[in-house]
């Protein structure tokens, strides 16, 4: 069968599946079985998922776990996390418990401004463009009223529009650089709709602006789009305690642990190779909550990593210090999140996750997500600077290896007990399974 096809999106779901399995799979029956195994038996739920995107053939499951005991600004949370990596939820729970006994996490939203830009080309006199922008600015706002009035009635909307001259870097390139407050919405649709309206008004009004020459009247709009770089939509999360309260591991004194921890953070602050992995650990926590609450993890990832590079070199998002016998560990991170719109009213598990979190506002969710990131980072650095990461990681990974070998319930019981006191490695697990199976033959 040909591997190209016209009009695929117009085929029925079952015809799409037939084409896929017959074109790409040696055993089309097996492939079809796997695809159908993941269909939801509730037709309404399946239809909902079918309609999220184009060409849905099945559902892709991730586990939804929960990490309890998070004390954030004196309120307790159980945090939902959607993630496949074995040790992440366990690490979050451990960090939550650790800080629960030491006053919990303190958080604060620093700012909530989001940015969108109309990128355009104009090759005339800049002073005339400035005059035009100043005269048209009220109209940019008034002609977008039909889009902004609801948001404004709730206290949000367009905060400002600036004209920015970018011609030093690219000939003829200017922007309408707009800032927005989108309250509990992530705001992508709101911002993009406003920007497209600004662009339309801007272009139309230029045609009738008397000071412009005929050529200058032709403003070329290149595109109108929000920015996922949100350095002014920022949240801070922190933990702290007396150094001598950092007890929990006999192998290392609290002082030595605190010193090593701060050194590990200092290394991530100045060494990009380490910073990327360090921040990846933070994103383990952040992405999992962002996904569970139906937010756009690609937007969050892009914005966070850009922020980590804002000083010209990629660096750690978190920081730590010891001062007057007090250990502090904190992070400021940009997070554009929503708790209304998008998937929040559609996906039953997203609704469930938001209810579990006491129906947070976007600001509250920013704080919860930042805490999940900081907790994850704390857990990773604690392991890295004491036992090493593999001990805990492989313990959690044990079940995956056992499942790869299709271990029975009884085999799993025996081997998880055995590996409570023995180091887990892939080869050690394989040896143990083989020995067990030979014994029982």
User: How would you label 326-362 residue by residue, b for 16+ Cβ within 10 Å and e otherwise?
Assistant: ebebbbbbbbbbbbebbbbeebebbbebbebbeebeb
Contact present, 338 and 362 (Cβ < 8 Å): yes
Contact present, 58 and 35 (Cβ < 8 Å): yes
397 binds ligand MEV (CB under 6 A): no
Instruction: Considering the complex, state which of residue 111 and residue 277 has its C-beta at the smaller distance from ligand MEV.
Output: 277
Task: Select from 177-185, 239-247, 253-261, 272-280 the region that touches ligand MEV (CB under 6 A).
Answer: 272-280
d(CA 174, CA 192): 18
Instruction: Considering the complex, state which of residue 183 and residue 380 has its C-beta at the smaller distance from ligand MEV.
Output: 380
CB of 20 to ligand MEV, least distance (A): 32
Instruction: Considering the complex, state which of residue 163 and residue 267 has its C-beta at the smaller distance from ligand MEV.
Output: 267
d(CA 143, CA 227): 22
380 binds ligand MEV (CB under 6 A): yes
State the distance between the two ends of the chain, measured CA to CA, in whole angstroms.
Answer: 46
d(CA 436, CA 205): 80
Q: Is 393 designated active site?
A: yes
How far is CA 354 from each of CA 127, 168, 204, 339, rounded to the nearest angstrom? 50, 46, 43, 8
Instruction: Say which of 85, 256, 269, 332 is annotated catalytic.
Output: 85
Q: Is 74 designated active site?
A: no
Task: Select from 13-21, 50-58, 115-123, 277-285 the region that touches ligand MEV (CB under 6 A).
Answer: 277-285
284 binds ligand MEV (CB under 6 A): yes
CA angle 384–386–389, rounded 5-degree value: 35
**Separation of CA 23 from chain center:** 35
d(CA 317, CA 331): 6
Helices 254-270 & 272-292 angle (0-180, nearest 10): 100
Applying CB under 6 A, the site for ligand MEV has a residue count of 9
Instruction: Considering the complex, state which of residue 82 and residue 354 has its C-beta at the smaller distance from ligand MEV.
Output: 82
d(CA 407, CA 410): 8
Instruction: Say which of 217, 296, 347, 364 is annotated catalytic.
Output: 296
By CB under 6 A, the residues from 76 to 135 that bind ligand MEV are 85
Among candidates 311, 284, 295, 438, which has minimal Cα distance to 374?
A: 284
With CB under 6 A as the contact rule, the residue among 97, 139, 280, 351 that binds ligand MEV is 280
Reduced to 3 states (helix: H, G, I; strand: E, B; else coil), residue 204 is helix
Please give the structure tokens belonging to residue 152. Answer: 């404004």
Task: Select from 54-62, 64-72, 201-209, 276-284 the region that touches ligand MEV (CB under 6 A).
Answer: 276-284
Question: From residue 340 to residue 379, what is the string marking binding to ligand MEV with x (rule CB under 6 A)?
Answer: ----------------------------------------
d(CA 305, CA 353): 26
Task: Select from 152-160, 213-221, 275-283, 366-374 the region that touches ligand MEV (CB under 6 A).
Answer: 275-283
With CB under 6 A as the contact rule, the residue among 16, 94, 217, 278 that binds ligand MEV is 278
Please give the structure tokens belonging to residue 353. Answer: 């996750």
Please give the structure tokens belonging to residue 344. Answer: 């929040």
Q: Is 145 designated active site?
A: no
CB of 297 to ligand MEV, least distance (A): 15
Q: Is 296 designated active site?
A: yes
CB of 100 to ligand MEV, least distance (A): 22
d(CA 387, CA 353): 33
With CB under 6 A as the contact rule, the residue among 71, 389, 402, 429 that binds ligand MEV is 389
User: Which residue is closest to ligand MEV by CB?
Assistant: 281
Burial label for 55, CB within 10 Å (0-12, 13-18, 19+), is exposed
199 binds ligand MEV (CB under 6 A): no
Reduced to 3 states (helix: H, G, I; strand: E, B; else coil), residue 205 is helix
Instruction: Considering the complex, state which of residue 201 and residue 284 has its C-beta at the smaller distance from ligand MEV.
Output: 284
Instruction: Considering the complex, state which of residue 249 and residue 277 has its C-beta at the smaller distance from ligand MEV.
Output: 277
With CB under 6 A as the contact rule, the residue among 277, 391, 404, 417 that binds ligand MEV is 277
CB of 304 to ligand MEV, least distance (A): 15
Instruction: Considering the complex, state which of residue 128 and residue 395 has its C-beta at the smaller distance from ligand MEV.
Output: 395
CB of 264 to ligand MEV, least distance (A): 8
281 binds ligand MEV (CB under 6 A): yes
Catalytic sites, residue numbers: 85, 280, 296, 393
Q: Which residues bind ligand MEV (CB under 6 A)?
A: 85, 277-278, 280-281, 284, 380, 384, 389
């Amino acid at each position: 069968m040909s591997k190209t096809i016209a009009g695929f999106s117009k085929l029925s779901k079952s015809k799409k599946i037939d084409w896929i399995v017959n074109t790409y799979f040696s055993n089309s029956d097996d492939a079809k079985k796997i695809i159908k195994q993941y269909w939801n038996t509730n037709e309404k739920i399946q239809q909902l998922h079918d309609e999220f995107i184009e060409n849905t053939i099945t559902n892709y499951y991730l586990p939804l776990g929960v990490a309890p005991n998070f004390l954030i600004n004196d309120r307790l949370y159980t945090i939902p996390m959607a993630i496949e990596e074995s040790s992440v939820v366990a690490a979050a729970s451990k960090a939550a418990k650790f800080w629960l006994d030491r006053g919990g996490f303190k958080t604060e939203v620093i700012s909530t401004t989001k940015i969108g830009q109309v990128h355009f080309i104009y090759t005339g006199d800049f002073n005339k463009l400035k005059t035009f922008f100043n005269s048209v600015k009220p109209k940019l706002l008034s002609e977008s009223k039909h889009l902004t009035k609801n948001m404004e009635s709730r206290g949000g909307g367009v905060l400002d529009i600036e004209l920015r001259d970018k011609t030093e870097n690219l000939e003829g390139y200017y922007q309408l650089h707009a800032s927005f407050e989108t309250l509990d919405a992530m705001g992508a649709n709101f911002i993009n709709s406003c920007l497209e309206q600004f662009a339309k008004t801007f272009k139309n009004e230029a045609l009738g602006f008397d000071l412009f020459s005929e050529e200058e009247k032709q403003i070329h709009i290149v595109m109108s789009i929000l920015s996922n770089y949100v350095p002014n939509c920022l949240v801070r999360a922190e933990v702290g305690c007396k150094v001598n309260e950092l007890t929990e591991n006999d192998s290392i004194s609290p002082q030595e642990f605190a010193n090593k921890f701060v050194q590990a953070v200092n290394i991530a602050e100045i060494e990009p190779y380490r910073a990327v992995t360090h921040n990846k650990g933070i994103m383990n926590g952040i992405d999992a909550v962002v996904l569970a609450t139906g937010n756009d993890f690609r937007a969050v990832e892009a914005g966070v990593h850009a922020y980590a590079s804002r000083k010209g070199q990629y660096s750690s998002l978190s920081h730590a210090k010891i001062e007057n016998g007090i250990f502090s560990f904190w992070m400021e991170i940009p997070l554009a999140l929503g708790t209304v719109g998008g998937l929040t009213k559609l996906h039953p598990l997203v609704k469930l996750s938001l209810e579990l979190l006491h129906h947070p506002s976007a600001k509250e969710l920013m704080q919860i997500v930042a805490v999940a990131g900081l907790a994850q980072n704390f857990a990773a650095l604690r392991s890295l600077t004491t036992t090493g990461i593999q001990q805990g990681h492989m313990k959690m990974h044990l079940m995956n290896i056992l499942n790869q070998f299709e271990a029975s319930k009884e085999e799993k019981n025996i081997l998880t007990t055995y590996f409570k006191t023995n180091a887990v490695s892939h080869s050690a697990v394989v040896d143990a399974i083989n020995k067990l199976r030979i014994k029982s033959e």
